């Protein structure tokens, strides 16, 4: 298994919409190229939480995968979120994503129905069996309910599947993560920006970042410094990003914050779909200031944007 089977510096892409609320395919392609060529992302997650997957149709999801794959080619892996609380629906989305050209799948634990650990394992194995694509497990109990958090034993069992290659870890459980890292070959992707460096310290080697939508080089630089052995610089950069992470992820949902920042900068993004509501003027102003302060931090003076010709 490759150390980073689907890339290590992934942005959790927003899904841009037009003024009338339709999928903005051209905007998605522009954003994908920007994140890859200017931001240095080597992976893009589409139709995840930040991509508003609960409110996009199956057809829109497939169109989005095709558009992003066309835009970035082999410069970045495209990972499609296909998780639902319905096994048959997840199978259909997984096969559709494979047909549309996705490089990998992201599958959240099934929510609402509150299946047993055995039911969760069966669901995830069934989706992994449905395609030839590598798959990341998405462990995010804050969104799926504590009853659907993957246990360490379930993660060990799922690690035996040849196409289950990693975990997007948003469980905030360093004990569980450390134990599974010690016992398996799963590649751990930090799924929350504030846990990137703590998880790197115990063996994670990748991330899926919402904040990378607006500060991809800065987010990337934390991992780059850590892997270069400069742990002091990595720690300073991580701390310098925390006020921005807090602003983006705590006052309003992350996608609302990112789209507010995009709107302020004139970038493609559009509005959010209900039940989400857009950020008001006050929140947007605070987000803009937090982003400006982060980008102006001297900790990032030697972190120029990546440009690929």
- Annotated catalytic sites, by residue? 138, 168
Cis peptide before 275, with omega less than 30 degrees from 0?
yes
Tell which residue, 51, 61, 12, 21, has the closest CA to residue 271: 21
Phi, psi of 267 (to 5 degrees): -100, 160
* Alpha helices by DSSP H, 81-162: 87-100, 117-130, 141-144, 152-158
Unique residue bearing structure tokens 């309910």: 145
Tell which residue, 201, 218, 203, 205, has the closest CA to residue 291: 218
Beta bridge partners of 175: none
Unique residue bearing structure tokens 């052995």: 229
Phi, psi of 28 (to 5 degrees): -65, -40
Rounded Cα–Cα distance for residues 237 and 241 (Å): 6
- What is the crossing angle of helices 87-100 and 58-72, to 10°? 30
Using a 10 angstrom Cβ sphere, with 0-12 exposed, 13-18 middle and 19 or more buried, the burial of residue 92 is middle
Q: Are 290 and 245 in contact (CB under 8 A)?
A: no
């Amino acid at each position: 298994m490759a150390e980073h089977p689907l890339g290590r510096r992934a942005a959790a892409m927003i899904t841009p919409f037009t003024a009338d609320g339709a999928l903005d395919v051209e905007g998605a392609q522009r954003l994908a190229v920007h994140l890859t060529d200017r931001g240095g992302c080597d992976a893009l997650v589409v139709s995840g939480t930040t991509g508003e997957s609960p409110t996009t149709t199956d057809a829109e999801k497939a169109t989005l995968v095709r558009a992003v794959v066309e835009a970035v080619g082999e410069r970045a892996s495209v990972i499609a979120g296909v998780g639902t609380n319905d096994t048959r629906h997840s199978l259909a989305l997984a096969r559709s994503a494979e047909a549309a050209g996705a490089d990998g799948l992201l599958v959240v634990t099934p929510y609402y129905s509150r299946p047993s650990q055995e039911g969760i394992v069966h669901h995830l194995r069934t989706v992994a069996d449905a395609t030839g694509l590598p798959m990341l497990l998405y462990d995010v109990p804050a969104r799926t309910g504590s009853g659907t958090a993957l246990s360490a034993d379930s993660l060990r069992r799922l690690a035996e599947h040849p196409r289950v290659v990693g975990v997007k870890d948003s469980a905030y459980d360093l004990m569980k993560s450390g134990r599974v890292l010690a016992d398996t070959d799963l590649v751990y992707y930090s799924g929350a920006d504030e846990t990137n460096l703590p998880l790197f310290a115990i063996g994670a080697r990748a991330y899926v970042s919402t904040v990378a939508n607006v500060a991809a080089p800065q987010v990337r630089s934390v991992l780059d410094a850590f892997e270069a052995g400069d742990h002091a610089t990595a720690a300073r950069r991580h701390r310098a990003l925390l006020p921005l992470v807090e602003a983006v992820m705590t006052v309003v949902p992350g996608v609302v914050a990112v789209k507010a920042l995009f709107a302020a900068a004139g970038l493609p993004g559009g509005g959010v779909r209900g039940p989400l509501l857009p950020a008001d003027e006050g929140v947007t102003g605070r987000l803009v200031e937090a982003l400006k302060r982060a980008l102006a931090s001297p900790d990032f003076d030697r972190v120029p944007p990546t440009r690929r010709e």
